[in-house]
Amino acid sequence: MADTSPTSPGPEPYRVPDADLDDLASTLAKTMAEVRQHGVILDRLGSEPESAAIQPPDGAPEAEATDGEKADGPASVFILALGGEAYAVELAALSDWVNYLFLPVYGREISTSRPWCAHWHEHPEAVARLHALWLAWQQFTDTEAGLSGPSTWHRDHLDQTLAHLRAPDGPFAACTTSATRPNHRVLATPAPQQAGVAA
């Protein structure tokens, strides 16, 4: 018969070594942030009518699979390789990062020498550059990037992106230069050269 008396010892509690506790806490915090981000995306997609969903800009790839896509998803995580709903979901996640982390920390004042556009998601070059910056941010702020990861992100990715994105002749050149006089205009891009037409 088993001893059920209150004096019998119970199982020994499991203790995580202090050295591993910081890594575990960091991994848990990252996982919780990703879950929250996915919840925001799902809430937004569930509450918006299909016609109001963010659409890819003109010329963006369509949603159907091409030779470059595998049956289980796109061949690239880069936003310009996505189409349809996958593009909309990725742009919504990017918008959260831009609005709640990037702009509050790195936005700086708007001026003629540092233009910005509140409708940045309508500028294909801005979307491409910000998405690339966000992908690098995810990689270099991960614990696996090491202690110098954030510094590398600032030096190799953020500084270069800001220099091009907010340059006076960058994608926002025809847009907002004053917070009191908002302006938005997507600049025309060169037309592709037709096959067989001499230069």
Phi, psi of 70 (to 5 degrees): -85, 165
In this prediction, residue 53 carries a pLDDT of 44
Long-range contacts of 55-60 (CB under 8 A, 24+ apart): 55/87, 55/88, 56/82, 56/83, 56/84, 56/87, 56/88, 56/91, 57/122, 57/124, 57/127, 59/124, 60/87, 60/124
In which band, very low, low, confident or very high, does the pLDDT at 174 lie, cut at 50, 70 and 90? Answer: confident
Q: What is the pLDDT of residue 10?
A: 66
Among 50, 47, 128, which Cα is nearest to 91's? 128
Residue 156 lies in a domain: yes
Residue span of the structural domain in which 107 resides: 81-166
Decide if 191 is inside a domain. no
**pLDDT grade for 85, boundaries at 50, 70 and 90:** confident
Main-chain dihedrals φ then ψ at residue 177, nearest 5 degrees: -120, -5
Task: Give domain status of residue 30, yes or no.
Answer: no
149 within some domain: yes
For residue 7, the model assigns a pLDDT of 61
Claim: this prediction has a pTM higher than 0.85: no
- Predicted confidence band of residue 108 (pLDDT cuts 50, 70, 90): confident
Q: Give the model's pLDDT for residue 81.
A: 78
Mean pLDDT of the region 185-195: 75
DSSP state of 24: H
Instruction: Evaluate whether residue 128 is within a structural domain.
Output: yes
Answer whether residue 192 is part of any domain: no
pLDDT digits (tens, 9 = 90+) for 113-167: 888 888 899 999 999 999 999 999 999 988 888 899 899 999 999 999 999 999 9
pLDDT for res 188:
73
pLDDT at residue number 194: 73
Is residue 182 domain-resident? no
How many domains, the chain?
Answer: 1
Any domain includes 8: no
